[in-house]
Amino acid sequence: MAAAIDVLSPVARAIQSMTSGPGLLATDATGIPVLDQDAPNGIRQGTMWCWTNARWVTFFYSPQGDSESVRRFLGNERGRTIQCDGTPTLTFVEREGGKRPGCWSHGRRALVELARAGDKVALEGLKTISPLFAVERQSLLAGEHAVARLARRREQSQPVV
């Protein structure tokens, strides 16, 4: 394993550099159990971040899912646009001049929960944004790459938004 890591580390660093370069980034994090003999029951939570710029993808492990781990990934880059969920972990992005466009799927999930509970306003919200998800589905079925998907979004999604 150590030999493979030595050989592949430069490749991983190059991919991370390509992923974290200028432009829009998207990220999401997921907690993963990590064996740790010093932790209660021998297991603690680590965090696996997935970062993409629609061309490159980097998976980035951090012992914690905190803003410092995000800063480590980004390096000195400030003022970025990072698409992510509404987690407070990334609020520093806006404080440092960047933007955090939200995620329609996260917003939709909350509307679905409310609509299932009988909220009629949430149901109207779902009806309003459902064309956005249809556009994404059409793009996926057409096998579109990022440039074609962006053109489709500008033409079909932008009027809905």
pTM for this one?
A: 0.72
Integer Cα distance of 93 and 117 in angstroms: 34
Give dist(CA 53, CA 92) in Å, integer: 20
The pLDDT tens digits of the residues spanning 105-157 come to 888 988 999 999 999 999 999 999 999 999 999 999 999 988 899 999 999 99
Contact between residue 139 and residue 108 where contact means Cβ atoms under 8 Å apart: no
* Contact (CB, 8 A) for 103 and 94: no
Q: Residue 111: its pLDDT value, please?
A: 92
pLDDT digits (tens, 9 = 90+) for 80-98: 889 888 778 888 888 888 8
Strands of the sheet containing 82-83, edge to edge, are 57-62, 43-52, 25-35, 82-83
